Structure 1
Amino acid sequence: MSTAPNGRVPVLVRQVRHELVSLLRTPLTMILSVGFPLVFFVLLSALIGNVVVDEGTGVRLVQFLAPALASFGVIMATFSFLASGLSEARATGVLKRQTGTPLPRWALIGGRIGAAIILGLLSVSLILVVGVVAYDLQLFGRSFAAIVVTLLLSSFTFAALGIALALLLSRPPIVIAVTNGVAIVLAFISGVFIVSGTTPAWMNSIAWAFPLKHMVTVFSGALDPYATGSALQWDHLSVIALWGVAGSAVALWALRSGREHATAAPQLSTSPRARAEDARPRRSTRPSGHRLLAGQVAHAQAILWRDASSVFFAVAFPLLLVAIIPTVNGGGDLDLGGGLILGSFFAATMAVYGSAVTSFVNMPQGLAEERERGVLKRTRGTPLPTGVMLAGRVVAALVVSLLTLAGIAVLAALMYSPPVPPGWPTGVLMFVVSATTFAIVGLAVASLVHGAQAVLAATLGTLLPLCFISDIFVAGVDLPDVVDTVSWVFPLRHAARAMTESVSSVANPFPWEHLAVILGWAVIGVIVIARWFRSEAVKEATPRSRAGTAQADRGDSRPDSELTGAVTPLRGSHAADIARRR
């Protein structure tokens, strides 16, 4: 279908508006693409952003945090979430059905790109406004053009790359894992989360090969209070543009080859294969409790390992952080005092983070998704007790957490060669208790919050801010008194502190206080699960059911049409009698 040039803009505007409405109706997307960069900026600014780096001009450290985290917001909105949304639409057949409408293909893709760019610009605007209002961030009119050009060019580049990856990769979980993994790793090696560390030369060379480092450099130059001129650095902008051209070429090739249509899964053979043993019952008695539990653990393990995005964020991502964060912050052998080196510190905290992602985020979300699909409701019709099913999920999450711990321990030993800590048995015990508690609290959240997307937003939206105030991602930062008090209320900081003390080369007493708080949260979680967990999804009442409920509340059995005086249509013999009379 051809569209007149003067009619293309309204079509594109309407499609952008449609995509924006869809994004606004998905709170998780707004939280992850806009909320998290803003939360990271606020937390880091509150912790270290008010440090004055120049007494003469009053320049604060936030002046250099804002452009980096604003760039992170752009890449998350225009690269990660654009690719994830497009891949999901492709896998579910939405994109295929849309291409069968009169709407041009360029409008379909352009609408998604436009909505993602607006989302990224919203993230940048919020960070800059909060920085100016709350942390004395300075903006300069001389560099306004550089900021606008950098944001628009980088947004188009990341959008083109995101579309290309979404069309080249096959399944949404793989797209989510790859795009988020690339974005977060590039953010670390491009200096987004590095405040005072120095990136190694080899890592810096890798970062310069990708567009994010160039975007951060130009954006930082535009907000640099000591720079002069327009801050338009054409060499860096040229690299960003080249990546945009390459991404656009790949995306156009994928679109022209029809890759926006999901590849059909191979059909399995349905021919019956009768066997003599199928006629005999496999067991004559009720299976024992431990066999039921083992089966549920195996089932939950299969669910967790089949989700590529969950495996990445729960297992691979903590391993990457153990390798990257100490490397860019002075080396893993940096002495933190108290018999603790930087490599051991982040090995302990990343193990806690990985267990929290597995037990508190991924497992409850998977359970909520099964509840929405009616799987849990059908399970109630089987001999499987609900308690055994939930226990299987908890044990499965614990197994994945222990595997993550083992991988981190091996990696830290190979990279940083720390001495064997005397408190490692205590550390393993506290890790098991913490991971189990995270799983129980996650199930409690799934008991109170019913939708799968809402569960993910609640758990992930709670975990990430707590990581910044619970000594997970930062070390040796003095928190404000209020924030410090709040952090000790939750089990995450107690788990992190117990683990870091256990990997110290100096023997520490058993952490009874931390254990008591963690077990207290486990008890609260068990009470919530026993009281409010439901296997059936909660459905909103339809207008018809709400009307029926209101009628029942009135205590009247007559139809609403009689009560309101409405005329009901005539059917059957009554209509025939009237016709004969006429």
Structure 2
Amino acid sequence: MSADLALLGRQVRHELVALRRTPLTMILSIVFPLLFFILLAAVVGNETIDSRQGVRLAQFLAPSMASFGVVMATFSFLAAGFAEARSTGVLKRQGGTPLPRWALLGGRIGAALLLGLVATSLVIGTGAALYGVQVFARTLPAVLVTLVLASVSFSAMGLAAALLLPTPQATIAVTNGIVIPIAFVSDTFMVNGTLPSWMSTLGWMFPLKHLVNLLGDAFNPYLTGTGFQLDHLAAIAAWGVGGALVAAWALRREQDRTAVRRRQARSARASDARPRRTTSPSPAALLVGQVQHSVRVLTRDATAVFFAIAFPILLVALIPTVNGGGDQRMADGQTLGAFFAATMAAYGAAVTAYVNLPTGLAEARDLGVLQRMHATPLPAWTLLAGRVVGAQVVAVVTLAGIDVVGGVMYGTPIPAALPAVLLTLLLATTCFAVVGIAVMTLVRSASSMIGVTLGVLLPLCFISDVFVVGVSYPPVLQGLSWFFPLRHATNALTSAAGATGLGGGFSWVHLGVLAAWTLAGAAVVAVRFSWVRLEPRQRRRV
């Protein structure tokens, strides 16, 4: 028994050590819930609700963010890691070792459990230290039991998702595509608002809402008792059992068929051979080819497609709905649907151009692809310009999808100043892309690149009127938001979307700031861009 526990402990430690190689997992699992808690506390305020008992608004916000941390650390993290191990053949190689299957799965579930506890502890600890969140000894046993049960249940569902979905990219896209909408209908991000009745009913069908209510009641100072609620615990356990059964069936199916499919090289027949090019391609042909390649790269990754295209469209459907409906009028007369359509277009362009594009370039640089391309007739400006134009194409596609959803759900018309909307979006996308490429030249690896870009973009989204509107921020955050280009892009797009004239809608001050950032980023790229990744010693020699 002790030997089995030691084996399981070593496997858990191995999985935790592997986390250092995946900064995206750490960001999604630990940083996101804590960051959302801090930003939402700043957005909605942390006013005192009950001065006699010292109850503040964060008392009811912390449990929901802790629940979000649990589901991200277990369901999303475990599914992504298991799918990656499956696709790279790690599971097949581990199957040929003396490591028992139960230890392999138990190590991943144990690592996910510890990660969820860390995420929860950070949220609750930060709330207690900075926001006056009260922790009650009478409900601590119930909190611990709930967290362990929820972590195991969500882990089982994550294993099932990883075994059913074909690729790691699809797994990341689908799991996050499931978690985010369910979080909205499970009162995770709700503080003062009320969901429509059909959304509230839908939320009760999934385990996250039961977890949110369990932790919320355990931290509710106006309730009594130990915090154990068997009905909610039973619902969470039922989902876990179902996930475990599906995972066991999928794992058995995986063992019965070929684990890795080999791709056979296609031999070109002489009759099908195309004539070789005898002249160098023109710059225009090279640019068109790079644009086509860039669009393929940006759209063939299911994860990139979800976060850059599907996620903004999904938020346009959700955010106005939970805030009273997309036809609600704001102070300036613009509807919520039109406003968030513009902000989500800016967000989608930023994810495509500032996160996905430079991360793809960094990966190509790390793998030596750019170095091999350097030996071809392709100039550097053609490579970079093709990437930027490809990002613009994806941003326009995202805008079209957002407009379709807004028109169908809220009756939002096509903006009267459509030329201004399109030109503003193209300039904003260019700015994000150039700045992102500049950051790529300063960051050494692709794994660090995604951590840097997401770590900058997501906080800026909250203070740049992307996810919320009409919020008064502290002067420091207010000034910081106006320094970076995202807020200028958001304001320029919302102004263009609300303009009434066909030829109007241009916010020249905001566009000027975007142009300035573009020129500054281009200057950095001109000096720093290299086809290869230079190590410190190589840099000194150069």
Normalising by the residue count of structure 2, what TM-score does the alignment of the two structures yield? 0.95
Contact 1:420–1:505, Cα closer than 8 Å, also in 2:
no
- Show the 5 A alignment for 1:506-545: 510-539=506-535
Matches of 1:260 and 1:11, distance apart in 2: 27
- From 486, 492, 495, the equivalent of 1:492 is 486
Matches of 2:244 and 2:229, distance apart in 1: 23
Aligned residues: 538
Partner of 1:502: 496
- Show the 5 A alignment for 1:364-513: 364-419=358-413, 421-504=415-498, 510-513=506-509
CA deviation profile, 1:405-464 (whole Å, cap 9, x unmatched): 111112111211235544433222211110111111111111111211111111111111
After alignment, is 424-433 or 507-516 more displaced? 507-516
Matches of 1:199 and 1:50, distance apart in 2: 22
Letter in 2 for 1:177: A
Partner of 1:333: 327
SS at match of 1:53: strand
Matches of 1:506 and 1:296, distance apart in 2: 37
Letter in 2 for 1:36: F
Matches of 2:535 and 2:112, distance apart in 1: 31
Partner of 2:181: 185
The structure with more radius of gyration: 1
Letter in 1 for 2:282: S
Partner of 1:555: none
Matches of 1:449 and 1:269, distance apart in 2: 35
- From 9, 15, 23, the equivalent of 1:27 is 23
Q: Which runs of 5+ in 1 are unaligned?
A: 553-582
Letter in 1 for 2:105: I
Structure 1 residues 228 and 99: CA distance shift in structure 2, 3 A: same
Matches of 1:262 and 1:457, distance apart in 2: 35
SS at match of 1:335: coil
Partner of 2:43: 47
- Show the 5 A alignment for 1:119-518: 119-259=115-255, 263-265=259-261, 267-268=263-264, 270-275=266-271, 278=274, 280-282=275-277, 284-419=278-413, 421-504=415-498, 510-518=506-514
Matches of 2:500 and 2:220, distance apart in 1: 44
Structure 1 residues 435 and 262: CA distance shift in structure 2, 3 A: farther
Computed over aligned residues only, the root mean square deviation of the Cα atoms, in angstroms, reads: 2.0
CA deviation profile, 1:505-529 (whole Å, cap 9, x unmatched): 6678641211111111101110111
CA deviation profile, 1:198-227 (whole Å, cap 9, x unmatched): 212222222111100100010100011111
Structure 1 residues 382 and 412: CA distance shift in structure 2, 3 A: same
Structure 1 residues 34 and 394: CA distance shift in structure 2, 3 A: same
CA deviation profile, 1:507-559 (whole Å, cap 9, x unmatched): 78641211111111101110111111111124588xxx9xxx9xx9xxxxxxx
Normalising by the residue count of structure 1, what TM-score does the alignment of the two structures yield? 0.89
After alignment, is 421-430 or 340-349 more displaced? 421-430
- From 101, 104, 109, the equivalent of 1:108 is 104
Letter in 1 for 2:478: D
- From 72, 78, 87, the equivalent of 1:76 is 72
Structure 1 residues 143 and 200: CA distance shift in structure 2, 3 A: same
Give 1:393 shift. Answer: 0.5
Matches of 2:494 and 2:321, distance apart in 1: 18
Q: Which runs of 5+ in 2 are unaligned?
A: none
Matches of 1:530 and 1:430, distance apart in 2: 24
SS at match of 1:515: helix
Structure 1 residues 397 and 419: CA distance shift in structure 2, 3 A: closer
Matches of 1:402 and 1:481, distance apart in 2: 34
Structure 1 residues 259 and 309: CA distance shift in structure 2, 3 A: farther
SS at match of 1:497: helix
Contact 1:63–1:224, Cα closer than 8 Å, also in 2:
yes
Letter in 2 for 1:512: W
Matches of 1:155 and 1:376, distance apart in 2: 42
Contact 2:421–2:505, Cα closer than 8 Å, also in 1:
no
Matches of 1:456 and 1:271, distance apart in 2: 38
Structure 1 residues 509 and 97: CA distance shift in structure 2, 3 A: closer
Contact 1:164–1:250, Cα closer than 8 Å, also in 2:
yes
Matches of 1:509 and 1:239, distance apart in 2: 51
Structure 1 residues 121 and 46: CA distance shift in structure 2, 3 A: same
Structure 1 residues 259 and 476: CA distance shift in structure 2, 3 A: farther
CA deviation profile, 1:256-295 (whole Å, cap 9, x unmatched): 33459874336446344112764x433x432221111000
Matches of 1:166 and 1:419, distance apart in 2: 40
Matches of 1:94 and 1:528, distance apart in 2: 40
CA deviation profile, 1:459-502 (whole Å, cap 9, x unmatched): 11111111011000111111111100001000000111111122
Structure 1 residues 405 and 6: CA distance shift in structure 2, 3 A: same
- From 85, 90, 95, the equivalent of 1:89 is 85
Matches of 2:253 and 2:21, distance apart in 1: 32
Matches of 1:421 and 1:173, distance apart in 2: 34
Contact 2:441–2:529, Cα closer than 8 Å, also in 1:
yes
Structure 1 residues 13 and 49: CA distance shift in structure 2, 3 A: farther
CA deviation profile, 1:33-54 (whole Å, cap 9, x unmatched): 1112111111111222412233
Matches of 1:51 and 1:360, distance apart in 2: 36
Matches of 1:56 and 1:149, distance apart in 2: 31
Matches of 1:186 and 1:538, distance apart in 2: 44
Letter in 2 for 1:438: F
CA deviation profile, 1:358-397 (whole Å, cap 9, x unmatched): 1111111111111111110000000010110010000001
Matches of 1:516 and 1:173, distance apart in 2: 37
Partner of 2:10: 14
Matches of 1:259 and 1:326, distance apart in 2: 46
Contact 1:93–1:261, Cα closer than 8 Å, also in 2:
no
